[in-house]
């Protein structure tokens, strides 16, 4: 072994670096923009957008797949795609519930003669809760399965990444349970959403807190370090700050099990109200461990996470969770319309659960609204479906859905924030409270807002 | 100067001098033909504690490292950090509130005892087979699921929780034994070229297999067993002034400061009982003595009539069982999922490396230290949005430091 | 090992390469298959470089994905925070750069309506100002360098550690990195992920054909050529002195040192080279996918790479690469559900159960993996190679 030999390796490595450098130097700039005279405040064109502007991908690809469809004989299956997390690290529970709901939609459509007289197939793709897998799944749905439109969708990070794939291919997507504002605020023509906006949900939470007749000065927020948890905590904090309420946010990693250390800190903050924005088992772990440590829902008023709506899992995991407030998306059960009632029946029959979760309702509607749009468009051409979706008035399990801010009424004309683009403007958001141990969330009284109220609050916190 | 910066600069000072001590000291010792096995650790600790004022005398005199001096220097480091922390964050609860610190410490110790039970299983396996089981977390997960299934099944739900625990023990023991016989026994035959790497990979495969099997069978919805029993409600010395002890069904309060939830208390007590039982087994029964004999000298043990193959199986199965029992007692504390084993196994790795691979007292002490570090880290790191988010990293930092400074851990044998 | 040129193996290799190069003619109209192929090449690079590290070098590192992530995140951070402007912004951190200004944007975290200093500066900038996002290839390059630096660091730190200790140390490294990336969301955007521009943001023209930025064909060839390049590079390394030395270190470190192998230098070099390969694969793949999240650092992902290498054949980079390609396709295409009588078996979950079982059984009964023996069968038929003889002797012992 000599030094010169090892020098050879170093030289080789250097040579490779130089090669890469040369390559880099030749490479064109990734994106370029000029601050123009008319629009000095032009938003910086991201590379992806700039690229799609150049390539007329929308028109090109909208012709391909459906052209075959149109030429196909009657009776050809119409495929509607669906994204759902079915493997870890995704939220498998949510994903499976959504799949059940979408299968019900599929059965119902086929039982009623299909769409345009043709049978319907809902093709499910597993997003695994990972953006990179989500884009792959989207790719598969569009290019392998030749779906004409896509519903479902659970994780915000997946939605944010997958919407670009849909946009590149010009395939309409109706997102069911992705709350992140950017999904609609990027104003892609193909992207619709029937889930609430994250910022709107936070606004409901803040309104709920400020409407209470009890003194609330200090709120503790427990959130997860995800793209759902962080923006939700931030917009809630800023909303609370406007109302003069001080909030401290504790962020946890979603895999955390032992909350003893955090719970002591929360106790030391001496909160008047605790909000749990961490989802899944993290929320269950925190709620139950807080209860055992004496600052649970029966000691300090607590907004438990929306996953707590699944009553059976909630009571198994948080046996001491009585008096929890839970935010709920969708109409209260006693205001269910016919669609929701009949869906709920079939859902219980299929899954054995007592009532559908809000994401099941949304998933069902996301498929059904696409079906109606295809029916109204009279064709499976994606551009026509998008057109139909923009003008649709659909009555589903969530109530009447429209997309008032659309290409004929863009946000700057409507005077709305871009986040309202293709967004279902008024999903019902209510706060219910578990008031008896083992109670079903659908039997629990709605305590907020006034128009849906069915019961009075049981207040465990300080009243002075 | 910004207050918070005090801590940053102090830490930087400690790290720089620690690194200098850790890197330079072994070289100086080696040049003088002295024993360098403790030199990186000793150099790093003394460097961090006293900076150049400790290192230069050390390099001139080059004394042997005694445990006593190292512990003292370690205390100095902790003292420096604590002092800097209190100067940087004078309003932090860990500085101002003694009862807060006490309750956090108690939390850490309780959870530490529970952690150490699982780590004991891993260290037992290592001491006999010389391998680390990467499927340890999955036995933990299975133990918990067995208790959950039994506690909700029709025929076992009215039985005593002890029966559930027994069920978990039997299932994990049998699974461990089967796996050892089919997949690990071949290591002893000489047919495997690199047995330790083989064991790492094959237990890794087992962990993959069991995790997804659990998900396919049990689903991904979190579950949890109800607590095994309720505390008798009492107050000592009197109901009006329960300064010593106060219990409700679900939790217990000592000195009005330390609150221990029932489920955790039960798990910790179970862990202590199992620990004592394990000690009894290892020191008082023939099988246990056989295990210890094999761990000390394989060949001599087999000459003395102990079949090392059987001892391997026994050790692996018992290790799996300890993990299973640990899971079985924790399923009433945490929500249970097929993935719960992953962080738990990672923590066990930290514990046994810190304690010294193969050392039983090391695993116990390591468990307590890791428990305390995790809770104190969560409790004291000032930024609330980081304190808990970094929780998985605290243990891993201990692991890295141990491996860098003293790979044999607190009580380990030589590598 | 040396000297004997085996025409069969060269022929097969050439055939394989030609097939891969021509494959887009058949599969280009199915972007999904193209996507799988690109991802498969990505995993093949990782699995084969891991097999160089673990199979040849005996360093069972679980930190390979961490190096990959370092490459990807370096490229992503560079792409997110570095701009070149013709006029100073006066708001951002900036340094003069060949007559222009290199602007470092301030992190805005995951807030939904945050504005960077550049957004704030734009209205005040004179008309005609050009703001450029510099070439992504610089980011890839920085990713590779960063991967190499971390490779040197980790390689130097683990010098004293063997087998189990090494595995645990590298797991810890990977977990700490994951925790940092998840927790420092102001900069890394945590679980929301950092978005990256595509490999060819303005499309690319090649031999008169123009491909848009979303076309799968340019990334296919980039990944394929990079894959072939790394394979050739690694094969060259293995065939030479380097391969001999790292194998001697694997077999017996003391003996190797006694025979004059500079153990420290070669171990660190091995870590550095494999880390750089992983980092470059990560950076390219991140640009291709367009988003990167800390979940790529989950142990699960690492176990996937390890399983690919093991099932393919740990002691052959070619076998590991083929194993990776086959497994990536198999795992993706097995996402089906079928009915057995009244039961619906959803393979989405079960495929991974069988995969774990396959991994265990392969380790137990096919120590050289499943692909490697096949390769040997074709390439060494009738050749009484001395290593084969050696291996037989060994197993008879």
Nearest CB among C169, C173, C179 relative to B390 is that of C179
Cα–Cα distance list, C129 to B45, C84, C101, C202 (Å): 55, 11, 11, 20
CATH number for the domain formed by residue range(s) A74-197+338-420: 3.40.50.2300
- Residue A76 pLDDT: 80
Are C179 and C222 found together in one domain?
A: yes
CA atoms within 13 A on the CB side of C381: 8
Are C182 and C230 found together in one domain?
A: yes
B32 touches chain C (CB under 8 A): no
In a domain, C397, yes or no: no
Angle at A170 between CA A168 and CA A172, to 5 degrees: 120
Among the listed residues C138, C132, C122, the one whose alpha carbon sits nearest the alpha carbon of residue C78: C138
Are C245 and C356 found together in one domain?
A: yes
Instruction: Please name the residue of chain A whose CA is at the shortest distance from the CA of residue B338.
Output: A88
Q: How far is C7 from chain A (nearest CA, A)?
A: 28
Q: Which of C32, C38, C245, C352 is the mutation pick for testing A, counting most A CBs within 10 A?
A: C32
A258 preceded by cis ω (within 30°)? no
Residues of B in contact with C306 (CB under 8 A): 201, 204
Instruction: Please name the residue of chain A whose CA is at the shortest distance from the CA of residue C30.
Output: A143
Instruction: Please name the residue of chain B whose CA is at the shortest distance from the CA of residue A96.
Output: B220
Contact indicator for A222, A295 with CB cutoff of 8 Å = no
Residues of C in contact with A135 (CB under 8 A): 289-291
In the numeric block, which tokens belong to residue B171? 């299932």
In a domain, C2, yes or no: no
Nearest CB among B264, B339, B391 relative to A88 is that of B339
Contact state of B386 with C183 under an 8 Å Cβ cutoff: yes
Contact state of A264 with B224 under an 8 Å Cβ cutoff: no
Nearest CB among B191, B204, B400 relative to C306 is that of B204
Instruction: Please name the residue of chain C whose CA is at the shortest distance from the CA of residue A89.
Output: C295
Q: How far apart are CA C397 and CA C388, in angstroms?
A: 14
The answer for B 119-158 residues in CB contact with C (under 8 A) is: 126, 131-132
Q: Where are the domains of chain A?
A: 74-197+338-420, 199-333+429-452
Are C19 and C163 found together in one domain?
A: yes
Total count of domains within chain C: 2
Q: How far apart are CA B339 and CA B327, in angstroms?
A: 12
Nearest CB among B219, B264, B378 relative to A262 is that of B378
Query: Which subunits count as partners of chain A given 3+ CB pairs below 8 Å?
Result: B, C
pTM of the predicted protein model: 0.85
Does the fold of domain A199-333+429-452 match that of domain A74-197+338-420? yes
Residues of B in contact with C54 (CB under 8 A): 197
Question: Beta-strand (E) ranges in chain C?
Answer: 82-85, 93-97, 100-104, 129-133, 194-195, 204-206, 209-211, 291-292, 337-340, 343-346
Contact indicator for A239, A203 with CB cutoff of 8 Å = yes
Residues of A in contact with C36 (CB under 8 A): 136
In the numeric block, which tokens belong to residue A245? 């309420």
CATH class of the domain at A199-333+429-452: alpha beta
- Residue C113 pLDDT: 60
Residues of A with CB under 8 A from a CB of B: 88-89, 92-93, 96, 225, 248-253, 255-258, 260-262, 264-265, 268, 280-281, 284-285, 288-289, 291-294, 313, 316-317, 319-320
Instruction: Please name the residue of chain C whose CA is at the shortest distance from the CA of residue B351.
Output: C168
Instruction: Please name the residue of chain C whose CA is at the shortest distance from the CA of residue B216.
Output: C349
Report residues of chain C scoring pLDDT below 70: 1-6, 109-114, 208, 336-346, 348, 379-397
Contact state of B335 with A281 under an 8 Å Cβ cutoff: yes
Three-state SS at A354: coil
Instruction: Please name the residue of chain A whose CA is at the shortest distance from the CA of residue C178.
Output: A253
- Residue C69 pLDDT: 93
pLDDT band at B321 (very low <50, low <70, confident <90, very high): very high
In the numeric block, which tokens belong to residue C378? 């074709």
Are C110 and C165 found together in one domain?
A: no
Q: How far apart are CA C347 and CA C344, in angstroms?
A: 9
Residue A303, H or E segment: strand A302-304
Instruction: Please name the residue of chain A whose CA is at the shortest distance from the CA of residue B148.
Output: A316
Q: In three state form, how does the secondary structure of chain B look?
A: CCHHHHHHHHHHHHHHHHHHHHHHHHHHHHHCCCCCCCHHHHHHHHHHHHCHHHHHHHHHHCCCCCHHHHHHHHHHHHHHHHHHHHHHCCCCHHHHCHHHHHHHHHHHHHHHHHHHHHHHHHHHHHHHHCCCCCCHHHHHHHHHHHHHHHHHCCCCCCCCHHHHHHHHHHHHHHHHHHHHHHHHHHHHHCCCCCHHHHHHHHHHHHHHHHHHHHHHHHCCCCECCCCCCCCCCEEECCCCCCCCEEECCCEEEECCCEEEEHHHHHHHHHHHHHHHHHHHHHHHCHHHHHHHHHHHCHHHHHHCCCCHHHHHHHHHHHHHHHHHHHHHHHCCCCCECCCCHHHHHHHHHHHHHHHCCCCHHHHHHHHHHHHHHHHHHHHHCCCHHHHCCCHHHHHHHHHHHHHHHCCCCCCCCCC
- Residue A34 pLDDT: 58
Contact state of B346 with C356 under an 8 Å Cβ cutoff: no
B352 touches chain C (CB under 8 A): no
In a domain, C356, yes or no: yes
Strands C82-85 and C129-133, sheet pairing = antiparallel
- Residue A281 pLDDT: 81
Range of the domain at C120: 87-129
Are C68 and C93 found together in one domain?
A: no
Contact state of C165 with B202 under an 8 Å Cβ cutoff: no
Nearest CB among A92, A256, A291 relative to B391 is that of A256
**b/e per residue C343-355 (b: at least 16 CB within 10 A):** eeebbbbbbbbeb
Are C253 and C306 found together in one domain?
A: yes
Q: Which domains does chain B have, with CATH numbers?
A: 3-90 (no CATH), 97-157+166-224+269-405 (1.10.3470)
- Residue A69 pLDDT: 40
**B213-236: pLDDT as tens digits:** 888 888 777 888 877 777 777 777
pLDDT at B320 over 90: yes
**B265-301: pLDDT as tens digits:** 888 888 899 888 988 888 888 888 888 888 777 777 7
In the numeric block, which tokens belong to residue C360? 């265990």
In a domain, C309, yes or no: yes
Query: Which subunits count as partners of chain B given 3+ CB pairs below 8 Å?
Result: A, C
Nearest CB among B207, B211, B389 relative to C183 is that of B389
pLDDT tens by residue, chain A, 464 residues: 444 444 455 455 555 555 554 544 444 455 555 554 443 333 343 333 333 333 333 333 333 334 334 333 357 888 899 998 887 677 777 888 888 899 888 888 888 888 888 888 888 888 887 777 888 888 888 888 888 899 888 888 788 888 888 888 888 999 988 888 888 888 888 888 888 888 888 888 888 888 888 888 889 999 887 778 888 888 898 888 888 888 888 888 877 888 888 888 888 888 889 999 888 788 888 998 888 888 888 888 999 888 888 888 888 888 888 888 988 887 777 778 888 888 888 888 888 777 788 888 889 989 988 888 888 888 888 888 888 888 888 888 888 888 888 888 888 887 878 888 888 887 888 888 888 888 888 788 888 888 888 888 888 877 77
Q: What DSSP line would sit under A88-152, residue for residue?
A: TTS-HHHHHHHHHHHHHHHHHHHHTT-BTTB-EEEEEEE-TT-HHHHHHHHHIIIIIS--SEEEE
More confident call, B327 vs B239: B327
Cα–Cα distance list, C13 to B36, C18, C23, C47, C320 (Å): 50, 9, 15, 18, 14
Nearest CB among A9, A140, A161 relative to C291 is that of A161
- Residue B150 pLDDT: 84
Contact state of C165 with B396 under an 8 Å Cβ cutoff: no
**DSSP class of A46:** P
- Residue B1 pLDDT: 46
């Amino acid at each position: 072994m000599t030094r010169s030999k090892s020098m050879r390796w170093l030289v080789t490595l250097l040579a490779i670096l130089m090669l890469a450098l040369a390559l880099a130097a030749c490479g064109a700039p990734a994106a370029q923009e000029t601050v123009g005279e008319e629009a000095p405040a032009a938003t910086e064109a991201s590379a992806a957008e700039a690229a799609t502007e150049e390539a007329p991908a929308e028109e090109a690809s909208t012709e391909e797949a459906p052209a075959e469809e149109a030429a196909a004989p009657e009776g050809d299956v119409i495929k509607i795609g669906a994204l759902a997390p079915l493997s870890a690290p995704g939220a498998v529970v949510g994903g499976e519930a959504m799949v059940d709901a979408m299968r019900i939609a599929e059965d119902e459509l086929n039982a009623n003669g299909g769409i345009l007289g043709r049978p319907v197939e809902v093709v499910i793709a597993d997003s695994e809760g990972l953006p990179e897998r989500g884009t792959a799944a989207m790719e598969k749905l569009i290019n392998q399965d030749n779906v004409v439109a896509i519903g479902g969708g659970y994780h915000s990070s997946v939605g944010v990444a997958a919407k670009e794939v849909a946009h590149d291919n010009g395939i309409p997507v109706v997102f069911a349970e992705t709350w992140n504002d950017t999904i609609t605020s990027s104003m892609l023509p193909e992207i619709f959403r029937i889930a609430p906006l994250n910022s709107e949900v936070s606004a409901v939470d803040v309104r709920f807190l400020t409407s209470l007749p009890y003194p609330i000065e200090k709120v503790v927020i427990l959130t997860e370090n995800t793209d759902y948890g962080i923006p939700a905590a931030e917009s809630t904090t800023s909303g609370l700050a406007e109302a003069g309420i001080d909030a401290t946010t504790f962020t946890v990693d979603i895999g955390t099990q032992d909350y003893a250390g955090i719970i002591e800190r929360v106790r030391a903050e001496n909160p008047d109200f605790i909000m749990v924005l961490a989802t899944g088992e993290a929320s269950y772990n925190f709620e139950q461990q807080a209860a055992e440590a004496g600052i649970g829902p029966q000691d300090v008023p607590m907004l438990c996470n929306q996953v707590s709506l699944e009553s059976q899992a909630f009571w198994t995991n948080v046996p001491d969770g009585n008096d929890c407030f839970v935010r709920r998306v969708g109409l209260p059960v006693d205001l269910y319309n016919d669609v929701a009632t009949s869906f709920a029946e079939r859902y219980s029959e299929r899954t054995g659960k007592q009532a559908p979760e809000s994401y099941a309702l949304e998933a069902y509607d996301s498929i059904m609204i696409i079906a109606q749009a295809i029916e109204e468009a009279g064709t499976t051409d994606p551009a026509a479906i998008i057109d139909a979706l923009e003008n649709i008035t659909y009555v589903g399990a969530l109530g009447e859905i429209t997309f008032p801010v659309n290409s004929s009424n863009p946000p700057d004309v409507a005077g709305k924030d871009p986040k309202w683009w293709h967004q279902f403007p008024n999903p019902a958001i209510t706060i219910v409270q578990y008031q008896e141990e083992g109670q079903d969330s659908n039997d629990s009284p709605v305590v907020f807002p006034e128009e849906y109220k069915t019961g009075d609050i049981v207040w465990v916190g300080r009243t002075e | 100067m910004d207050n918070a910066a005090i801590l940053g600069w102090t830490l930087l000072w400690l790290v720089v001098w620690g690194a200098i001590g850790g890197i330079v000291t072994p070289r100086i010792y080696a040049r003088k033909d002295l024993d360098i096995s403790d030199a990186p650790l000793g150099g790093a600790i003394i460097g961090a504690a006293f900076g150049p004022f400790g290192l230069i005398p050390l390099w001139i005199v080059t004394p042997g490292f005694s445990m006593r001096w190292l512990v003292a220097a370690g205390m100095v480091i902790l003292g420096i950090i604590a002092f800097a922390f209190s100067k940087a964050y004078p309003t932090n609860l860990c500085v101002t509130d003694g009862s807060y610190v006490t309750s956090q410490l108690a939390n850490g110790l309780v959870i530490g005892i529970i952690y150490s039970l699982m780590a004991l299983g891993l260290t037992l396996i290592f001491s006999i087979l010389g391998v680390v089981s990467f499927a340890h977390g999955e036995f933990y997960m299975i133990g918990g699921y067995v208790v959950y299934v039994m506690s909700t099944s029709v025929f076992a739900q009215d039985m005593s929780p002890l029966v559930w625990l027994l069920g978990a023990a039997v299932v994990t023991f049998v699974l461990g034994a089967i796996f050892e016989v089919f997949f690990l026994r071949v290591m002893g035959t000489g047919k495997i070229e690199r047995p330790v790497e083989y064991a790492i990979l094959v237990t890794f495969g087992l962990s993959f297999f069991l995790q997804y099997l659990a998900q396919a069978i049990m689903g991904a919805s979190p579950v949890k067993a109800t607590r095994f029993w309720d505390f008798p409600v009492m107050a000592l010395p009197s109901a009006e002034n329960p300064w010593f002890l106060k219990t409700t069904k679900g939790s217990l309060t000592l000195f009005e400061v330390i609150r221990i939830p029932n489920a955790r208390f039960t798990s910790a007590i179970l862990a202590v009982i199992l620990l004592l039982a394990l000690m009894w087994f290892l020191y008082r029964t023939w099988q246990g003595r056989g295990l210890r004999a094999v761990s000390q000298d394989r060949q001599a043990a087999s000459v003395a009539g102990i079949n090392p193959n059987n001892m391997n199986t026994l050790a692996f199965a018992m290790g799996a069982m300890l993990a299973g029992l640990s899971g079985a007692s924790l399923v009433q504390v945490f929500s249970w999922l097929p993935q719960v084993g992953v962080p738990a196994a990672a923590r066990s790795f930290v514990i046994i490396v810190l304690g010294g691979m193969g050392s039983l007292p090391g695993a116990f002490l390591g468990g307590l230290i890791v428990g305390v570090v995790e809770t104190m880290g969560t409790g004291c790191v000032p930024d609330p949005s980081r304190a808990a988010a970094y929780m998985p990293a605290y243990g891993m930092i201990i692991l890295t430091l141990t491996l860098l400074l003293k790979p044999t851990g607190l009580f380990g044998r030589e590598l | 090992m040396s000297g004997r040129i085996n025409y069969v193996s060269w022929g097969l290799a050439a055939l394989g390469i030609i097939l891969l190069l021509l494959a887009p003619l058949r599969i280009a109209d199915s972007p999904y298959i193209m996507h799988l192929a690109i991802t498969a090449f990505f995993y093949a690079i990782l699995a084969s470089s891991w097999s160089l590290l673990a199979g040849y070098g005996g360093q069972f590192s679980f930190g390979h994905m961490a190096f990959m992530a370092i490459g990807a995140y370096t490229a992503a951070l560079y792409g997110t925070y570095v701009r070149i402007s013709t006029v100073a912004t006066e708001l951002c951190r900036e340094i003069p750069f060949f007559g222009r200004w290199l602007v470092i944007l301030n992190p805005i975290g995951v807030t939904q309506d945050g504005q960077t200093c550049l957004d704030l500066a734009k209205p005040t900038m004179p008309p005609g100002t050009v703001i450029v996002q510099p070439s992504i290839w610089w980011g890839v390059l920085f990713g590779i360098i960063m991967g190499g630096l971390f490779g040197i660091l980790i390689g130097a730190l683990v010098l004293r550690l063997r087998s189990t200790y090494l595995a645990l140390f590298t797991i810890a490294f990977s977990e700490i990195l994951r925790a940092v990336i998840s927790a420092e969301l102001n900069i890394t955007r945590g679980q929301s992920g950092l978005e990256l521009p595509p490999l060819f943001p303005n499309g690319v023209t090649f031999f008169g054909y123009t491909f848009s930025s979303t076309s799968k064909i340019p990334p296919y060839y980039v990944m394929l050529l990079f894959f072939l390049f790394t394979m050739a590079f690694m094969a060259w390394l293995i065939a030479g002195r380097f391969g001999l030395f790292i194998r001697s270190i694997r077999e017996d470190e003391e003996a190797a040192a006694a025979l004059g192998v500079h153990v420290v230098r070669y171990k660190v070099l091995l870590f550095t080279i494999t880390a750089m390969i992983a980092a470059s694969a990560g950076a390219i793949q991140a640009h291709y996918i367009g988003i990167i999240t800390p979940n790529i650092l989950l142990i699960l992902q690492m176990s996937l790479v390890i399983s690919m290498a093991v099932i393919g054949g740990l002691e052959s980079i070619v076998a590991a690469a083929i194993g990776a390609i086959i497994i990536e396709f198999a795992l993706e295409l097995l996402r089906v559900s079928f009915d057995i009588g009244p039961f619906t078996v959803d393979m989405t979950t079960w495929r991974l159960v069988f995969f774990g079982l396959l991994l265990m059984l392969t380790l137990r009964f096919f120590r050289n993996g499943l692909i490697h023996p096949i390769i040997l069968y074709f390439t060494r038929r009738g050749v009484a190679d001395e290593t084969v003889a050696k291996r037989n002797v060994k197993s008879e012992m």
